[in-house]
Structure 1
């Protein structure tokens, strides 16, 4: 292996170890971190087409039976088995798609995917209509890189079978690139470029329907299991079993979490995080939010209150911030109104 490629391997591994070992789930709390392994969510098989076959979406109903797989299995049942070249993984917002991608990159750095000499974690929202080499340099390499673009392009062309590309968030692609059949992301997904590379693509549901015909494997992020959720909550409260037991009882008693959508609501890591955040400051409240709208409203009030406190913005000492009653400090009212308008317009578009 050329010295420049050895440097690149070392640089990528060190970057993934440093960036992805821990996650900071709460932007306002720089002392609370979670190990990547603590928030990793399992995959559930949706439908797998034979190599080269058109894959049709059948949907993911709660009644459907899908087996759970490890991240290693998405690349094939064994090291000697043929590797699917285009792998699509979909999931609802905040269910763990980016976490899964980070874990792939981290596990590669740990030597778990020996068939790949190089693995590139790329965020699609930052992808422009540049060559894949230029995109790699933009997102992953320093200005004083010890490998040239020409050397990297030469190595990729000669070693396609041993290259892993991880495209995180295809649904966030720029609309111009999305609609351009000749854009680099589309050409890669459609196997017109780097056809023998293994490409893992994550996206929200239905945003990849037009690309399913090109994929060899199709998976769904299933979110937290009950066991995952319990471990996550325990970690959040620093192994305080008493707090966890109280919260668990509250959730069991609260009818919002006892309807048919219970698993959908609590399988989402972000929702579980919000529940923990709210519970932390409201353990003695008589009424836990009974609707997801109420929970998100309380979380937003919490974030705004924290922002005002940090920035020394006066808040009503008796009632605090109350979004339902329009009680918001004048200094942040414009920002809150803008956020509400964006949310309303987005909801109208999706109806």
Structure 2
């Protein structure tokens, strides 16, 4: 079915409105201390940038392959379309992959001109742990992003994405994706670049769980964790009320004196510990 230009424009506006409505629910509900729901923040209030680097594959033997520093997450999108329009954002558990993608969603929704995705027209953000048994990417968008009473059909979504000249698809948490072994799902086909070849894709995963089948020349970016300055900034933003210096010193002393697992138990695995 063909749309008139005005009808398609209206549908695209509706899609973007619904996407932003869903993402706001997500990025406004960041819990620095998990399971304590009365301490929820907007991601922009607690986001702290850690170390980040990109993988440079040299010609010839793999012994010369190296990771090089990336100045900031603001250069992240520069790496997506560099070769194959596919990127893996990897890192160890707790290094901030999902938080970073939520920050990107916040930037997009709020038209942040300094964001690496400021020029993206349509952002699709999906958490892969939800997609078990879901074959179609358009079904996933309809089920997990659009409003329950949305008037947009799966076919509308497919048409709009295929006709848009600027789409970024973020697939968060490949290591938690239930259908990793099914090579016929849209997610697998997208990773292999067999469908939706012209859209940009960022896939997040733990470093030890990279997709076995992926498009050649897929770029790789890795989060390295957080240094002392970043940890101090996070404590001030997310943990201590009213920027109390005495409380900040107390928490930092506790972090230094206790092994990682003991800290996690004492603070109910709050995010600061997992960031270290």
State the TM bucket, normalised to the shorter chain.
0.7 to 0.9
Partner of 2:98: 98
Are 1:21 and 2:28 counterparts?
A: yes
Structure 2: give runs of 5+ residues left out of the alignment.
1-7, 271-276
Tell me which of 135, 138, 159 is aligned to 1:133.
Answer: 138
Partner of 1:188: 190
Partners in 2 of 1:207 and 1:93 — Cα distance?
11
**Does the CA-based 8 Å contact 1:88-1:215 persist in structure 2?**
no
Q: CA deviation at 1:18?
A: 3.7
Q: CA RMSD in A?
A: 3.2
**Does the CA-based 8 Å contact 1:42-1:69 persist in structure 2?**
no
**Does the CA-based 8 Å contact 1:76-1:83 persist in structure 2?**
no
**CA offsets, 1:200-251, max 9 Å, x none?**
0000112115246535321111222322211222231211101212333455
Going from structure 1 to structure 2, the CA distance change for 1:54 and 1:71 (only over 3 Å counts) comes to farther
Going from structure 1 to structure 2, the CA distance change for 1:184 and 1:88 (only over 3 Å counts) comes to same
Are 1:115 and 2:122 counterparts?
A: no
Q: Which moved more, 1:81-90 or 1:5-14?
A: 81-90
Residue pairs, 1:200-349, within 5 angstroms: 200-208=202-210, 210-211=212-213, 214-235=216-237, 236-238=239-241, 239-252=243-256, 254=257, 289=258, 291-299=259-267
Q: CA deviation at 1:294?
A: 3.3
**CA offsets, 1:236-270, max 9 Å, x none?**
12111012123334555x3xxxxxxxxxxxxxxxx
Q: CA deviation at 1:57?
A: 9.7
**Does the CA-based 8 Å contact 1:93-1:204 persist in structure 2?**
yes
Are 1:173 and 2:177 counterparts?
A: yes
Partners in 2 of 1:54 and 1:202 — Cα distance?
28
Partner of 2:37: 30
Alignment TM-score, normalising by the size of structure 1: 0.64
Structure 1 runs (4+) greater than 6 angstroms displaced: 53-59
Partner of 2:78: 76
The structure with more radius of gyration? 1
Structure 1: give runs of 5+ residues left out of the alignment.
255-288, 304-351
Alignment TM-score, normalising by the size of structure 2: 0.79
Partners in 1 of 2:62 and 2:17 — Cα distance?
40
Q: Which moved more, 1:126-135 or 1:107-116?
A: 107-116
Q: Which moved more, 1:225-234 or 1:82-91?
A: 82-91
Going from structure 1 to structure 2, the CA distance change for 1:10 and 1:213 (only over 3 Å counts) comes to closer
**Does the CA-based 8 Å contact 2:172-2:203 persist in structure 1?**
yes
Partners in 2 of 1:74 and 1:197 — Cα distance?
16
**Does the CA-based 8 Å contact 2:79-2:219 persist in structure 1?**
no
Higher relative contact order (CA 8 A, sep 6+): 2
Residue pairs, 1:35-50, within 5 angstroms: 35-37=42-44, 38-49=46-57
Partners in 2 of 1:213 and 1:117 — Cα distance?
24
**CA offsets, 1:161-195, max 9 Å, x none?**
41111000001111xx2222222211000100101
